[in-house]
Structure 1
Amino acid sequence: MKKIFCLFLILTVHQLSGQNLDWWDALHDYPNAAGTDRDRYVSISPGYFGPNALRIPVLRNGKIDNELWSENTIEYHFGQGDNTLNHWSEFNIPLAKDKAVLYVQSIAWEYWEVTDEIRDERRMRSRSGIGWNTGDTSFGVILRIANEDKSRLPNITFRAHSKTTTGGNVSNARFTDASMFFWEATVSKTILKTDDSSLLLKGMLGFYTWQTNKNGLPNGSDFFQNDAGTYGVGIEWTKGKWFVASDVSGYHGYIENRDTPSAWRNQIQYRLGKHIALYSNFNVGLNSWGWQTVTIGYRHFFKTID
């Protein structure tokens, strides 16, 4: 308990130490460059924020998951001057068997360390480059349009996703404190199937939109909104209690300020029994995405919806 209190005290001191902003004002020509609202100086773009602000949509598999489950993981993002550790949780709530599912995602906390170069490039106001904050809660609905087991069509689903503005610390370019939505369609097809295994190809296309800061600064924006096309292509394999998947996914904005992030994502899951599965993935950042990500956690399955 003493260690936790000391860590909290250190982080609080680090964050409060940046309250004298004379250094920041001189560095960023405040208020002449973009007015008196310091938050407007931050560039709301995936390439100038932390890894959890405008996350890349996860490529699903074109099916409806009929199990009620919760997932808790620890994520570590590292690379290019920004190291971030955070908790991630997700709840999968089937609404109708093989037809619809609701999911809720949340980041309860995030701890970060950035270099002085990254701090200044993002116009962050924490002089230490070290801090913590709470994250966003997001939710989405997936509807199944076609089922390969019941027709000649492949699996087809439609997803609508939105995030709330619960995430804080826009002053340090961690979470946007603004709206974000995406809509996408996923298509998949099983190309190999045996009694205890299957191999499935999958892909997605969609539309991603988020609110920006109109400031006209270098790496900033001349618009209040950025729109992007989303995409992804991948493969997944199941055999007995094992699940393995790999895909390349991303989105492509039109402002061209590091708004074209993509990543190569690799997942593995092993189901220990009826209720617990161990889960891990490793993401390799590609275009406009400066992090590699290691995730370790578990899923707890409560029941299957009949």
Structure 2
Amino acid sequence: MRNLFFFLCFLMIALTGNAQKDWSWWNNLHGWEPGDPGWRNWLVISPGYLGPNALPVPEVKRGFLTNKTEFEITASSHFHSGDPTQDISSRAYVPFANGKIAVEVYGVIFEHYAYTTEIRNERFSRDENGKGVAIGDLYFTTLIQLIKDKNLPNTLFRFGARTASGGNYRGARYADTPGYFFDLSFSKDIGQKENLVFRPYTMLGFYSWQTNDELNLQNDALLYGVGTDFEKNNWRFVSSWAGYYGYKNNGDRPMQLNFELRKDYNKKAFRIQYQHGLHDWMYRTVRFSFLWKFKPVN
């Protein structure tokens, strides 16, 4: 009986605490009054008003599939004067059908953030202290090799879908809405000299995601990217410019520069990446990745 009594007291305290959760600070700050649309309608579902991993620019593909299965683990640090963020993410890449098709699954496993009051207010966040952790969205992509090693440029088709599995929507970290994208990427090896390969490539596609705008529930964007590869002796240096261009112009036009240095070994690889935001995604991101490589599935 004593244990039951203490349990009931604890339950009553917990329920009372939840019932008395005070949102007056947010209501006063944004002028919300009874009868106004709910707080979710105030959030802006665009990369300019969410965390760095909410609606990222998809990685620029290079027109062809690699022939080994890869599992990758990445540690990232996003530098921003008002929203420094750190995360751990992973990626699995599996080619099959003699390297003509591949599937890719990736997402953020753990994210830590601590943003300022100014950022909190700008994003209409209800996370009062602006500090916490979150889990990211999960992405699934299918890649199909259309043309490779012919007189025409290498051509790759990609279709990707984003789940709404990301956490802390209340804190304006993730969108809590599904989305999808598809694109074509093209590349051509210009020449080989002393094991040096120079490869320009380009990408063009479409990106769409659901919003909380009751009049326009979907935002559509042109997805684009151009870049170059330099490869020599299992080293690869990559530079690209990429982004997408949404039609609402509410922070939905992220643009960034990407740089990557990768070293491949027989069964493993590592890479260092740097991303520099130019518009609507104003982070400076450094990533360190380790990859395990396996024989392809035929």
Measured against aligned partners, the alpha-carbon deviations of 1:190-236 in whole angstroms (never above 9, x if no partner) come to 11224633110000110000111117xxxxxx521110000000001
Q: Match for residue 140 of structure 1?
A: 141
Given that 2:270 and 2:291 are in contact with CA atoms closer than 8 Å, whether structure 1 keeps it comes out as yes
Q: Does residue 1:291 correspond to 2:283, yes or no?
A: yes
The 4+ residue runs of structure 1 with deviation greater than 4 A are none
Mapping of residues 173-212 of structure 1, within 5 Å: 173-194=172-193, 196-212=195-211
3-state secondary structure, aligned to 1:65: coil
Q: Could you say which residue in structure 2 is the equivalent of 1:251?
A: 244
**Corresponding position of 1:125:** 126
How far does the alpha carbon of each residue in 1:130-177 deviate from its partner, in whole angstroms, 9 at most, with x for none? 111111110101111111x2x321001110000111111111111111
Q: What percent of counterpart residues are identical? A: 34
Deviation, structure 1 residue 305: 4.5
Q: 1:302 aligns with which of 276, 294, 298?
A: 294
CA 34–161 in structure 1, closer or farther in 2 if over 3 Å, else same: farther
TM-score (normalizing by structure 2): 0.90
Aligned: 1:25 with 2:27: yes
Q: Which residue in 2 is equivalent to 1:280?
A: 272
**Aligned alpha-carbon RMSD (Å):** 1.7
Distance 2:46 2:21 in 1: 25
Cα contact 1:34–1:40 (8 A) shared by 2 = no
Are 2:111 and 1:105 aligned?
no
Query: Which residue in the other structure is 2:261 paired with?
Result: 268
Partners of 2:123 and 2:117 in 1: CA distance: 10
Q: Is the 8 A contact 1:136 1:164 kept in 2?
A: yes
- What do the CA deviations read for 1:222-252 (whole angstroms, capped 9, x no partner)? 5211100000000011111211100000000
The Cα of 1:117 is off from its aligned counterpart by 0.5
Corresponding residue number in structure 1 for 2:45: 44
Per-residue deviation, 1:70: 0.4
> 1:34 touches 1:41 (CA, 8 Å); kept in 2?
no
Is the Cα contact below 8 Å between 2:94 and 2:296 reproduced in 1? no
State whether residues 240 and 257 of structure 2, in contact with CA within 8 Å, keep that contact through their aligned partners in structure 1.
yes
Q: Which has the larger radius of gyration?
A: 2
Question: In 1, distance between residues paired with 2:63 and 2:261?
Answer: 18
In structure 1, what residue type is equivalent to 2:188? K
Opposite residue 99 of structure 1, the aligned amino acid is K
1:43-74 deviations in Å (ceiling 9; x for gaps): 10110000101010111110011101100011
Question: Counterpart of 2:99 in 1: which secondary structure?
Answer: coil
Distance 1:169 1:240, change over 3 A: same
Letter in 2 for 1:241: N
Structure 1 spans left out of the alignment, 5+ residues? 1-15, 216-221
